[in-house]
Structure 1
Amino acid sequence: MLQSHLEILDDEFRKLVLGNCALDKLWTGGRWLEGPAYFAAHRSLVFSDIPNNRMLRFDEATETVGVFRTPSMHANGNTRDRDGRLVSCEHSGRRVTRTEHDGTITILADRYDGKRFNSPNDVVVHEDGSVWFTDPTYGIDKDYEGGRAPEEIGGSHVYRIDTATGAVAAVATDFVKPNGLAFSPDYSILYIADTGVSHVKDGPRHIRRFSVTDGKLSGGEIFATCEYGLFDGFRLDERGNLWSSAGDGVHCYNPAGTLIGKIKVPEVVANVCWGTQKRNRLYICGTTSLYATYLATNGMPYPG
């Protein structure tokens, strides 16, 4: 029996889902949940509650949620690096940080050409260890998810941090509001969302696809356009299918960019993350609640 939260648009999707697995509501009580990052070593998920200026931790063994960090500098996107450390984008800190194994925080980048970032939003790590992140203005547009402040850079760009040298490079500068981003399983492609319609009438509400070569991007054609709400955060499975947040749940696109199915969620979804040691459970950050469902596919390993 197919669960009611699953919407099949193509038979490809049937091979990726489990018709007998429900959509589990694990916790509620946030204001705008974001940035889930899974840590297999201690079976936990760290995620952000941006307006409440805190990061939360879901314990997979006990299915309980507690505060991981407060204040969090209005942290948004999170990921794990190749050494298992937490990497975070901070709105009010206007920086990208790394939490070391001893709990201390290292600033990876807070400026470009001497100017402060807008409000780093989402972040991924390449297999070579470099850190890639988006920098729209959502955290400085108003006080709800950060602190109102003027732009210094004068644009919303995508950046790459060379963690060996600390050098920061702007790798994409033609976005209106770059948002979620994720690599393909072989790291040859970087997908980046543009949610510029939030600031520009009839602006972009799509995901673009770039080729990655030696730390630089080329291409940038539109991969998919959101049909309901906006794309925000997303991740890929090991088969190359892209699972993205949207206004009515999670949309699944095959590698050709065809929408093949949906996981319907009763709240606007902001981001997703693969969990469990087998990476076959998709954690879903709804507006106020954390959800999850088991799938018949597996997420690509970290970093990613």
Structure 2
Amino acid sequence: MKKILICASLLSCFVSCKAQKIPEDIVAKGAELTLVSEEFKFTEGPAMAKNGDVYFTDQPNNRIVKWDCRNNTVSDYMKPAGRSNGLYIDNEGAILAAADEKNELWKINLNKEVTVLLDDFENKLFNGPNDLWLDAKGGIYFTDPFYKRPWWNHEEPEQTARRVYYLKKGAAEPQVVIDDNYEQPNGIIGTPDGKKLYVSDNGAKKTYVYNIDAAGKVTNKKLFADMGSDGMTVDNKGNVYLTGDGVTVFNADGEQIKHIPVPENWTANVTFGGPKQNILFITAMDSVYTIMMNVQGVRW
């Protein structure tokens, strides 16, 4: 009888463990966090190009920097850069930038020529576009919190709320897709199938997930994680990477599966890079770091 009870207990544990979908480690075996460079003032907005290089911002120094993934070197790409914060790269290789020197949304083509996509909403300045995500249709979702910048002349926001907007491809005006009394909407990322949108309210220390409909509108708001995030990314397994105290990884069900410590007071943002999209690229304070992964990014 005792043996039967033990076997039943082991079987129950086995079934329970399987039901929890315990993942294999998403970090490559033996991989360590590697410092790439610490020559900056505050790094943000990493975005991967098709060849695996990563572009990121050093906003206080008003520059966009390029990480060459093959040589593991960094170099200035554009300076001045409109005090750009969050970046994303479109399918043509142009850089989309939340350029908050003048509260604008930019497109920087391959010749480094700037087109201002948006500079206001309803004849009022944006609060300060912060982070953005491009969907498969070419539409841009972006967050618009209010963080008072020393280079601004105004002290108070002109917009009445801190929202998330969506600019359809070819449209002249954006539409408001989230107007939920967010304290500080910040990090944003969508799934490659265009069905889910993750948005952080970094002020309230919450991250939410929404459904995206065919028109680009978001519905069915749900709490995803009980923490905020400055920036975020997703991998090919559907895991979501949030930043702040290092990098915290959640599966698609909102269960924490990993924490990657980063030896800085604040981790601002994260993306995948490298020719195989299996290098996690992390911006944190005055530094940028990389670590090899067993999973991949999902952009290209």
What TM-score, normalized to structure 2? 0.88
2:124 is matched with which residue: 105, 111, 115?
115
- What are structure 2's unaligned runs of at least 5 residues? 1-19
Instruction: Output the CA distance in 2 between the equivalents of 1:162 and 1:11.
Output: 38
Higher relative contact order (Cα pairs below 8 Å, separated by 6+ residues): 1
Per the alignment, residue 162 of structure 1 pairs with: 168
1:126 is matched with which residue: 135, 142, 147?
135
Instruction: Output the CA distance in 1 between the equivalents of 2:164 and 2:41.
Output: 26
Instruction: Output the CA distance in 2 between the equivalents of 1:254 and 1:185.
Output: 15
Distance of aligned partners of 1:11 and 1:218 in 2 relative to their CA distance in 1, 3 Å threshold: closer
CA contact (8 A) 2:232 2:270 kept: yes
CA contact (8 A) 1:185 1:240 kept: no
Equivalent runs, 1:78-117 vs 2, <5 Å: 78-117=87-126
Paired residues in the alignment total 277
Amino acid in the other structure paired with 2:104: R
Equivalent runs, 1:99-248 vs 2, <5 Å: 99-138=108-147, 141-143=148-150, 146-149=151-154, 150-174=156-180, 175-196=182-203, 204-213=204-213, 214-226=215-227, 230-247=228-245
RMSD: 1.5
Mapped pair 1:253 → 2:262? no
Matched residue of 1:124: which SS?
strand
CA contact (8 A) 1:185 1:238 kept: no
Describe the superposition over 1:77-129 as per-residue Cα deviations: whole angstroms up to 9, x where unpaired. 00111222110001112111011123211111111111111110001101111
Matched residue of 1:19: which SS?
coil
Matched residue of 2:22: which SS?
helix
Instruction: Output the CA distance in 1 between the equivalents of 2:206 and 2:41.
Output: 25
Instruction: Output the CA distance in 1 between the equivalents of 2:293 and 2:127.
Output: 36
Q: Which protein has the bigger strand share?
A: 1
Instruction: Output the CA distance in 2 between the equivalents of 1:271 and 1:63.
Output: 19
Per the alignment, residue 277 of structure 1 pairs with: 275
Mapped pair 1:30 → 2:40? yes
Per the alignment, residue 200 of structure 1 pairs with: none
Instruction: Output the CA distance in 2 between the equivalents of 1:190 and 1:94.
Output: 23
Instruction: Output the CA distance in 1 between the equivalents of 2:153 and 2:283.
Output: 25
Q: Please say which structure displays the higher CA radius of gyration.
A: 2
- What are structure 1's unaligned runs of at least 5 residues? 1-9, 197-203
Matched residue of 1:51: which SS?
helix
Matched residue of 2:159: which SS?
coil
CA contact (8 A) 1:108 1:163 kept: no
The Cα of 1:23 is off from its aligned counterpart by 0.9
Q: Following superposition, which runs of at least 4 residues in structure 1 exceed 2 angstroms of deviation? A: 10-15
Instruction: Output the CA distance in 1 between the equivalents of 2:152 and 2:40.
Output: 19
